[in-house]
Structures are given as structure tokens and as C-alpha cells.
Amino acid sequence: METKELELPGLRMRNQAGDDFIPEMNPLHLKANLRDAYNRFWPAFVVFYGRIENVRERILYAKTHALIDGVIAAHAQGLLAPLIFSKYQEIVRRELHSLNEVKFITDSPKYFWQEIWKCQRFGIAETIVHSRAEGLREDRVKLASEIKELIRHSFKQN
């Protein structure tokens, strides 16, 4: 009986009986699995970003999509959240050093897992495009009412 090749999306594979399963992720190989998702499996996700005119941007969105898909698959396998987050950050940092901007970057584990939950609930493509369009929430500054009043006062004077 012939075993079928890796299928995307979702890093899902078929066993010899033809049943879908997510390949077992060993914690020792997690970074390699996520790196493979980012570097090799992204072409399957380009179709979700056809509205983005810039080809380089479209590829970066597809690569981010593949990476987040790998994170979700690792989490489904029961790997520990801090381990997954740290390996995700290692890949993101390496890409930043090579001047490639992953479309979802955060230093906050809490924010990271909130966004992953949104990806699972609303879809990866919808979540990362929407997050980029509105600006990352963690980068926004909340102004105290005194500061707002000072800003309003300075604009009234001009």
C-alpha cells in the first residue's frame, strides 16, 4: 500500500489507510518543523492573499500563515505553550535579522496566544490581515485624560 505525500494546509498527512492526521511533533524538532512550515510550505497559502498587490508582501503573509498553522498544529499535539512561543520567537528574530518582516510579531506571550485563538476561531488569513490593518494592539498607547486635555488645549491655541 502506498503512503500519500504531505498535504497542506494544516501540515496534515495521510497514513497508509488514507486517514488524516497531524504528524507527531517532537519538542526537540519543533523549531525545525516550524522553520520548515515557514520556508517550505508557504506556497499553499498564497491563495489567501490574492488581494495584496505587492508580491513580496503576499509571500510574507503566506509565510506567516504557514508558521501560525504550524504553531496551531504543535499546540494541538499538546506541546507546551511557552516552548511553542519561544521557538516562534526564534524564527521571527532570525527573519528580522535577514530583513524579512514576519507579519505577526510580538514579545508578549499573552497577546501571542490571544491572536492564535483568534486565528483558530476566525481563520488565520482574516486575523493577520485584520491585525496588520488596524495596527498591533500592544503597540498602541493609552493616554490618560490629563494628557488628552493637554493635547486638545494645544490644538485650540493653534
DSSP 56-117: HHHHHHHHHHHHHHHHHHHHHTT--HHHHHHHHHHHHHHHHHTT---S---S-HHHHHHHHH
Q: Is the dihedral of CA 120, 122, 57, 48 positive or negative?
A: positive
96: pLDDT confidence band, cut at 50, 70 and 90? confident
- What are the pLDDT digits (tens) for 42-61? 999 999 998 889 999 999 99
By CB atoms closer than 10 A (0-12, 13-18, 19+), residue 136 is: middle
Confidence label for 3 from pLDDT (cuts 50, 70 and 90): very low
